[in-house]
Structures are given as structure tokens and as C-alpha cells.
Amino acid sequence: MSRDEIPPGTLYLLILKTLALRGRLHGFEIADSIQRNSDEILQVEEGSLYPALQRMLIKGWVTAEWGTTAGNRRARYYTLTSDGRKQLAIELSQFERVIGAITRIIQIA
Amino acid sequence: MGYPAEILRRLSMIFHRRQFDRDLQEEMRLHLDLRQQQQVDLGLAPAAARRAAHLKFGNTTRIQEKSRMTWGWESLESLLRDATYGMRAMLRSPALTLVALLSLALGIGANTAIFSLLDAVMLRSLPVKDPHQLVLLGTGDWNGISDGFAITDAYSYPFYRQLQQKNAVFSSTAAIFSMLNEVHGFVLTSSGESRTDSQPINVQLVSGTYFLTLGVEAQRGRVFTDDDNSEGDHPVAVVSNAWWKRSLGSDPNVLDRKLKLGDTVFTIVGVAPPEFFGTKVGEAPDIWVPMSMMKSVPPYWEGYKDNFSVAHLVFGRLKPGITTQQATANVNLLFQQILRGFPDAKLNEENLRKLAKNHVHLTPMATGLSDLRGQFSEPLQILMAVVALVLLIACANIANLLLARSTARARELAVRQALGARRGRIIRQLLTESLLLALAGGALGIGLASVANRLLLHMVSGGQDNIPLDVSLNIRLLLFTLAVTMATALIFGTIPAFRATRLQLTDTLKSGRTPQGAGARSPLARILVISQVALSLVLMIAAGLFLRSLINLTNIDTGFNKENVLRLKIDFSSAGYKNDDPRQIALYNTITERVSALPGVKAASFSSFTFHEGSWNGGITVPGMPVNHEIDVKHNIVQAGYFATMQIPLIAGRGFDPTDTSTSQRVAIVSEHMAKTLFPNGQALGRCYHIGDPKSPYEQLVIGVARDVKFDDLTESPEDIDYLPFFQGNCCLNSFEVRYTGNFATISAAVQQTIHSIDRALPISGITTLDDEVARSITNQRLVAQLSIFFGLLAVFLSSIGIYGLMSYVVSRRTNEIGIRMALGAARSNVRSLILREIALLVAIGIVIGIPVALISNRYVTHMLYGLRGTDPFSFAAATFVLLIVALLAGYIPAHRASRVDPMVALRYE
């Protein structure tokens, strides 16, 4: 059951969208959510999740705060900021543009 | 778009590094635990679940590093890490580090100190507005008054005024009187009295437009305007900031204060800004006074309205868009026009020829005028080369040091490379260490330089009051030091760094040694030591040459006896005596008589000049000899006792005696050279000649011939000098000489007391001995000799350290071999000579290389030497000898150590 790697650069898009959908999540939940929502096709390299989250913190697309999980463990919860929402829109339109172009090319019989 | 916030966030990371690391670790731990729990829920055993979780997650360490890197401080952090590591490494071998730091500090400090002097004298622009727009008419090499025609380095004041009005290329022009008036004046209180004795004040006469042309504004009050040009009725002065602080105690009411110079009271109307010192580097006038007051300031020069009293330097600010060529053309046109237009111009054949031949050259004045520059620019450049070489030698030492250290660290570096460190990364770390060493050395060097600066300035000033040069540290200097420091770091750090990382990993890890054994470091190290020896030789030879040249100069026979003569100056004009004042003439006689009567005084006399004090010269006409306009005779007006005081023998005729009065036949004594060359048949005794204009009614009868003496400087060829009795001349007798026996201080005090007992108000200054005066005339040669010897010896010392270091290393590497040799029967002396032979070879190669280099480089300094050439074999031999002795001594210690090695210990030595 090999899972496909996600295309490079789309990790941010996936994280942003996941946070937009689900609101307040911690790192494991984000990874899990992406995996489940993709019907287990997309395998997020969990190593790349955390550096990506750090970068998004620096850029101001998410904010983080410490909270407690259901299992009474301390976890860092990430939420989308307004800048993050803007970034999501930008990334989405960019992604759609690229996919649209690729689709057009491969549809030429 | 949120960049400032982003930057702030990035910055906060630096302070919260550890917290950040802990947070991330906790996050990742949680993630792993949750994943593990998930796998267990799916049915795996806990151990397997854990493994699966880790596999899915990835390399935690790497993820942590990547996360940290996104914050962008990686390079800075690694730099800091390298620096701390480097510092720890340096502290581990304190002796080596100390030696390295000292050599660096000396090298960098010396460079900075010499450069600061060079900068102050040659490079720095005047602190005025847009200095590059200023141009000077002529070369600026002019220091006096002349009545010559068509002179292009200086001009008369009326000439300047016409130039000012008629030129088309300058937005503003100004004139400066080419000599500084050394006046003894009185600072008056607000009630108009003087509470203290007269004090020396240096007065610079300038045209009204001086400050305006320079674009300098007063920090208080006003500067001169063109109105201040009307003659005699503007007794105003602008004071310098330094003088205001020093003599007026920064009085806030300075604009109400007055000064008395001679008979005239001057009002202070302004204070110059703090950084402004004037237009001549090395001279800082205390006050500026309008040229129109020339006749009121002692010594009461009279040439303000004289069309042909050529004494002023003229400069101007070019109009925007005007090139130097255009300006030169315009100025030369006006030069011809104005000179011809003067009603009293003597347009004879000779003068017209001069007018056609002489052209005015415009020279840039951005760096100001300077007498110092001409005197010191070459010595300073040579010294700069010397200290640069010393720094190179120091760098070679440090390179060797670092090579040695990196050889010792070979194993450590091999381990790091085997673990995956990139070669470039290690090189970067080694370079950071070198940079750290260089920066530490540079900081120490700056400290040294600020002390050395003052010492240098004292040496340049030749033992008198310090020349007003600003050699303190400034931005340009610090940047220079920084550049030198970086360069040294690169020079001595790069090669060892590259060498150290070029390792055969397996071999090094096994044996802790590079495979080539003793040879690996040595070729480079040997090359460095050889080049050190060669450079040291070059420097020592140069030092030897300069020293011998200086000794030759000090042994020159001046013609007069310079020992045991006190000389001082009395400023009669400041005390109210004008020229030709009969009281002044009486004073001369009284003073001389009374002083001659003092115990310990053998003779005393007034004169215009003694040695290296300037001159009053002009042409003479000798009947029976062809007219020669090139004749330039130096006139010295003296009292009768001059020849006895200076012990100048008369080789023919007689000296001045009481039969020569102000009404008898005018007489003169001429120098040997003058007699031989300017008089028919070389016989001057009994002949007459005219001074200056052949139509002048005054004829001098030659009554004696004196031996040739040096007049201006020690290396001059015999000059034409004539001596005129003071009561038959009219000029200023500036100097008073006293030949004495006994203690200088006692005599000096007694003489001054005597003078003051005759007239209390006479200002006395410039108290010195003739010996010092002569010594001062060769200040720059002395400077070069002293410093080149110091740096030459320093270079040899540094090289010997290098030799010692290399030899110690070689010995330690060959200990095993030495042990075997000794076990096989070699005597201790054999071992010693084995090592010494190596040293001798190195030094010999160094000397062989150094000698031709010295021959080539000496060609550049030959013209500065006196009495010997750049190939002087004695200097070469002496320098080689010194170097050999020192080098062999330095190498002897390790050699001796090698011979004392216990064979049993050596054999086991790894």
C-alpha cells in the first residue's frame, strides 16, 4: 500500500486548507487529517510538516498556542490568521492555474 | 506586507532558542506517541508500533535542524559557534596565541601609526567646503618676500586685487601672506588692560575673501568680508578654536575681547569652527588678521600697496563647469596683462624674457599647502613599505603557527570529515579562527597605534613643540586598520586551512599523523621561513644604509663650531621698536656687551641668521665681471663678534672693527666660494661691489674673506655668502648667539635675566643650542634611520621566532629518528650539527634570495642617502652578519634540546 508523495510546494496549501476547514489543530491532527481526507492516498512526509509549520509561523500565516489534548497531553495548537486566509486564496488560485494548464495539455489527444 | 513583524519574529527566535528547541521536541514527542498509540490500536505490538511510528515520522534530529534553519539564523549561529570554538582553541595554547597576538599587534599597530601620519600629511582634504574646487596659483613652495619679476609661485597684493576683479574663471579668490607672523602680543581684559606679559601669538595675514572662498563660517561672530580690505582701518581678528580654548579659556564673551599687537588694538570679531586650522598642513595660526592691517602687525611689513612686493600665495575656487585648462589659460593671460600694466614695471630685456618664459601652473589645493609634505612624503612612503614588510613577516609566523596547530589537530579534522563535515565547512571554521586572531590582534594594534602616534609626532617635530598635526584616530584610519586586519587573516589563514583539510582520511585516523610524516608541513613552512629571512635581510640592509647615511650627515663639517653655542630670538618689533629705531641699535650693543661680560660667556653676537633659519638673498654686481642674473648671494647682517661667536675663521683680511661706523665706507666680508667664483681672478679682498641694483649709490668694500660655512642645510655645496655689519645695514637681527662654557641651563637663565634687566618688555623665544638647530635640520633622515632600525630589528626578531618554531617542530617530529641515530652511536654533537645544518641551509637560501631583492629595492632609496650608495657593501655585510648570528642562535636552542634527548625515550616516542 504505497502512498503517493504530494507534489512539492503544495504542502502549505494542504496545511492551510486543513486548518481553514477544521479550525484549531495540533501537528499530529493536521497530518492525520490530510491523510484521512485524501483517502489514505497522500502520505505526508511527517518530517516536512514541522519545518513547514515553523515557516508559516514566521510568515504570520498561522499562530500557535499551547493547549491540552483530549488525552491530557500538552500540545501546540495552530490556527489560521487573516493573512493565512489570504495566503490560502493565493495558493489555491495558483494551484488551480497550474493544474488547469497541465490538464489542458494532456487533454490534447 | 508584514515584513517588520516577520523580522521581529525572527529576532525573537534568537533570544528564545532553548525554549524553542524544547517546544519543538515536545511537539514531536507527542506526535510520535500519538502515532504509536494509533498503530497499537490497529493491532501492532508496542515495540513494532513504536518502530512504525518512527519510520513514518522521519529523522527527528534532521527535522529539528530543518525547523531551526527556516528561522534563517543558521549562518550567524554557525559563525558564533566557530568563533567560540576558535577562542577555546586559542586559549588552549596560550603561549603560541600570545606570540601570535603580539606579532600581529606590533605589525598592525605600526602600519596604522605610520598611515595616520601619512594621512594627516598627504592625504587628508582640508576641512572646508568642496575642497576639490580649490586651485592654487603656482606650486605653493614659497616662503618669503621678493622683488623679482614674473614670479609664478607668489604675487604682490595689488596683483591679487586686479586678478580678483578681472578673472572670469573663479567664483572667489583669496590671498595669504606666505609667512606666518610670530608676534608677541597682549590679550586685553574687557577694561582694556593686559594682566599678563606678552604671549607668543602666530598671526596669519589673509585677504578679506579668505574665509568666504574656503566656505568656512564662524562658529561665533563673523568672518572677514571684502570690506576688510581697505588699508589700515579694520583692526579686527578671527581667532582659531584651539587658541580660544587655550589662551582665552573658551571665554563665552570672546567677541568683546581685544588683543594688542604692537601698537594696535585688534577686536575679535569671530571664532573659527573647531575643525578648521588654516590652509597649511602642519601650521595652525592662532589668529587671522586682514591683509590690510599688514603694516600694523609686527614686524610691520610694508608691501601692501607695492606692485612688486611678491609675498602672497593666491588661490581660488573654480566656477562650476570651468576646467583647470580654461582657468590656466585665463590666469596666464591676466598674468601678462597685469604685470605689464603696472606703471612701475621695468620692462627691460631681462624681464620681458622672464615674462615670456614663465607660466603660471594651477595646482589642486584639496589637501592644502604644506612644507611638511615635501619634507616627509618620501620618508613616510618608505616607512609605509617597511612596516608592510614587517606585517608580512608577522603573518608568515602566524601562518606557520596555524600550520603547526592544524597538523596537531589532523586527527580531529579527519574525524570530522569522516563524520560528514564538508571540507568547505571546516575551512570556513578555520578561517573564522584566523579572523578572530586577526581581529584581536587588530584591536591591540589600534591601542598600540594611539600611543605610537604621539611618539611619531614627537619625532617628526624634531624635539620642539609638537607640530599641530591631527594624527588621532578617525574613521578612515579605523577602516584602514580593518582592511589590513582582514587581509592578514586571509593571508595567514587560507593556506593552512586548505592544507589542513587535504587529508588522507584513513591514514590520518589510524596514526594521527599525515602519511608524509615529517615532510608534510615542512615544505610550506620552510618556504615561509626562507621568505621571512629574505625580507628581514632586505629591511636590515636598508636600515644599515639609512643609519650610515645619518652618521655621515652628523659628521659633516658645518664650517662653524656648533658646540656650546646658545641661540635665542628677541622679538623687538613686538616690543614697540620699529625698523631703524636708534634705540634698537643701541640695545643691540648694550645687550651684547653685558652678556659678553657674564661669567662663562666667551663671545656673543646678534645676526640675521645662523643656520637653517631662512635667508635674505639677492643679486650683486661686480665691476669687471660679466652681468649674471643667476647670481644669488645670501646676505647675513651681523655684529662684529659674530665670527668669534660662531668660530668662523677669516682666511684673509680682517673682521669688522670700530673703524667701521655707520658713516664710513660700507664694508663687507665675503665667503671663500663667493670670492673664488664671483670676483675677477678669484681675488675679492680690496674690491668693491654693488648689492642689488648696479645703479645703487652704495658700494661694499670687501675687507675680509671668511671660510665657507653651511647656511641652509648640511648637504648643500658651498654657497655665496656675504656678511654685512649691522650698523651699516638696516634689517632685522633675529638671532642672538652666545658661545659659553659650562652648564647650558645656568647660562641660559643668566642671559635671559641680563636681557630683561635691560628692557623688561623684550619677548625672548626659541631658546636652543646651535647643535640642536643643526640636528633639527636632518629630522626626516633621523626619523627614517631610527624607525627603520627599530623595524629591521623587529623583523629579525620575528623571523627568529619563526625559525625557532619551525626547528622545534622539526626536532619533535624527528625525535624517533634521533633516538635511533644515538642508539646506533651518534654523538650528541653530531645530532646538534645535524639540526644546525638544516637551519644554516634555510638561512643561507634566505640570504641568497634576499641580497638581489635588496639590491633592487635599494635603487629606490639611493637618492636619499648621503655619502654612500645603495650597494654599500659594508651595510650588506653587517646586516647579513647580524641575521646569521640571530638565526643560528634561534635555531641553536632546539638543536641543543635535540642533542639532550635520551635515546630510550626517543625510541619509544610516537
pLDDT average, residue stretch B657-666: 82
Phi and psi at B878, nearest 5°, equal: -60, -45
Burial profile B317-337: b = 16 or more Cβ within 10 angstroms, e = fewer = bbeeebeeeebbebbbebbee
Q: Sorting pLDDT into bands at 50, 70 and 90, what band is B511?
A: low
Indicate whether B517 pLDDT > 50. Answer: no
- B294-298, B650-654, B726-730: lowest mean pLDDT where? B726-730
Burial profile B368-389: b = 16 or more Cβ within 10 angstroms, e = fewer = bbbebbebbebbbebbbbbbeb
Q: Are B27 and A75 a contacting pair at CB < 8 A?
A: yes
- B175-179, B835-839, B875-879: lowest mean pLDDT where? B835-839
Give residues 87 to 106 of A whose Cβ lies within 8 Å of B.
none
Q: Are B57 and A47 a contacting pair at CB < 8 A?
A: yes
Say how many C-beta atoms besides its own lie within 10 A of residue B178's C-beta: 22
Distance CA B544, CA B851 (A): 14
Distance CA B37, CA B194 (A): 101
Q: How are beta strands B312-318 and B616-618 bridged, if at all?
A: unpaired
A47 close to B (CB below 8 A):
yes
Closest by CA to B404, choosing from B533, B526, B521, B532, is B521
Question: What pLDDT score was predicted for residue B512?
Answer: 53
A20 close to B (CB below 8 A):
no
pLDDT average, residue stretch B441-457: 89
B581 close to A (CB below 8 A):
no
Among B9, B17, B70, B73, which would you mutate to test the A interface (most chain A Cβ atoms within 10 Å of its Cβ)?
B70
Closest by CA to B146, choosing from B302, B292, B308, B294, is B308
Q: Sorting pLDDT into bands at 50, 70 and 90, what band is B728?
A: low
Phi and psi at B658, nearest 5°, equal: -60, -15
Contacts of B54 in chain A (CB under 8 A): none
Closest by CA to B69, choosing from A9, A28, A45, A54, is A54
Contacts of A47 in chain B (CB under 8 A): 57-59, 62-63, 66
Question: What pLDDT score was predicted for residue B518?
Answer: 43
**Looking at B639-788, which runs of residues are DSSP E strands?**
650-653, 667-671, 688-691, 699-706, 721-725, 735-740, 764-769
Give residues 66 to 85 of A whose Cβ lies within 8 Å of B.
69, 73-76, 83
Say which residues have a Cβ less than 8 Å from residue B132's Cβ, sequence separation at least 6.
B125, B364, B366
Residue A6, min C-alpha distance to chain B (Å): 15
- Which range, B314-323, B480-489, B861-870, has the best average confidence (pLDDT)? B314-323
pLDDT in tens, A72-97: 888 889 999 998 899 999 999 998 99
Q: Are A73 and B33 a contacting pair at CB < 8 A?
A: yes
pLDDT in tens, B321-352: 999 999 999 999 999 999 999 998 888 888 88
The distance of Cα B314 from the centroid of its chain, to the nearest Å, equals 27
More confident residue, B885 or B511: B885
Residue with cell 642689488: B692
Give residues 45 to 104 of B whose Cβ lies within 8 Å of A.
56-59, 62-63, 66-67, 69-72
Indicate whether A38 pLDDT > 50. Answer: yes
A36 close to B (CB below 8 A):
no
Q: Are A47 and B34 a contacting pair at CB < 8 A?
A: no
Indicate whether B303 pLDDT > 60. Answer: yes
Question: What pLDDT score was predicted for residue B752?
Answer: 94
Indicate whether B520 pLDDT > 70. Answer: no
Residue B40, min C-alpha distance to chain A (Å): 16
Q: Considering only alpha carbons, which residue of chain A is nearest residue B56?
A: A46
Contacts of A54 in chain B (CB under 8 A): 24, 67, 70-71
pLDDT in tens, B101-140: 888 888 888 888 999 899 889 988 999 999 999 999 999 8
Question: What pLDDT score was predicted for residue A43?
Answer: 67
Question: What pLDDT score was predicted for residue B642?
Answer: 93
Q: Are A58 and B6 a contacting pair at CB < 8 A?
A: yes
Indicate whether B647 pLDDT > 70. Answer: yes
SS3 (DSSP) at B264: strand
Distance CA B526, CA B409 (A): 20
pLDDT average, residue stretch B543-555: 94
- A92-106, B240-254, B395-409, B496-510: lowest mean pLDDT where? B496-510
B35 close to A (CB below 8 A):
yes
Residue B41, min C-alpha distance to chain A (Å): 15
SS3 (DSSP) at B674: helix
Question: What pLDDT score was predicted for residue B810?
Answer: 78
A108 close to B (CB below 8 A):
no
pLDDT in tens, B843-855: 999 999 999 999 9
Give yes or no for a contact between B580 and B731, defined as CB atoms under 8 angstroms apart. Answer: no
Q: Sorting pLDDT into bands at 50, 70 and 90, what band is B503?
A: low
Helices (H), B512-625: 522-554, 582-596
Question: What pLDDT score was predicted for residue B40?
Answer: 87
Distance CA B80, CA B398 (A): 22
pLDDT in tens, B58-72: 788 888 888 877 777
Q: Are B71 and A46 a contacting pair at CB < 8 A?
A: no
Q: Are A51 and B62 a contacting pair at CB < 8 A?
A: no
pLDDT above 90 as % of chain B? 40
Indicate whether B902 pLDDT > 50. Answer: yes
Q: Are B24 and A50 a contacting pair at CB < 8 A?
A: yes
The burial of A41, by beta-carbon neighbours within 10 Å (0-12 exposed, 13-18 middle, 19 or more buried), is given as exposed
Mean pLDDT, chain B, whole residue set: 87
Closest by CA to B347, choosing from B515, B150, B569, B77, is B150
More confident residue, B703 or B95: B703
